[in-house]
Homo-oligomer: A and B are copies of this chain.
């Protein structure tokens, strides 16, 4: 019997949340996601946060820590989010994921003076985007 390969391993709630985040033009907050999916039967915060946690874990989305908001991963290298960098416009709140091999390489191989070996980093740049400056 031919073995079915499961292409899409997302659950219903995970897919709903991912769809919304991917369609959004900017970072979304958990409760704004919640309000947007209440018509689809998702009624309570834990359902959103569980989906968000899973999507982060598998690298489909990232959390912008300085904004408590979530964006879809736009970088195909990002299977697991262990090396993330973002540019954030302080005026219009536009957020872009930075996919720069040399930056990522530089930081991934960075060793600090205290003998700590890093597994993961998150970098957030702030400034004004083209449109806002």
Contacts and interface: CB of A to CB of B under 8 A. Distances in A.
Interface stretch (A21-29, A34-42, A53-61, A119-127): A119-127
A29 B128 CA distance: 30
Interface in A32-71: 65-66
Interface residues of A, number: 32
Given A65-B65, A118-B87, A98 B123 contact: no
A96 B118 CA distance: 13
Contacts of A124: 65, 121-123
A103 B113 CA distance: 12
Contacts of A3: none
B126 A98 contact: no
A129 interface: yes
B116 A130 contact: yes
Nearest to A123: B123
A115 B100 contact: no
Interface of A: 65-66, 87, 89-90, 96, 98, 100, 103, 106-107, 110, 112-130, 133
Closest 7 CB pairs of A and B: A65-B65, A118-B127, A120-B126, A118-B125, A123-B123, A121-B125, A119-B127
Given A107-B123, A116-B128, A120-B127, 12 more contacts: A65-B65, A66-B122, A103-B110, A112-B125, A114-B130, A116-B125, A116-B130, A118-B127, A119-B126, A120-B126, A121-B123, A122-B124
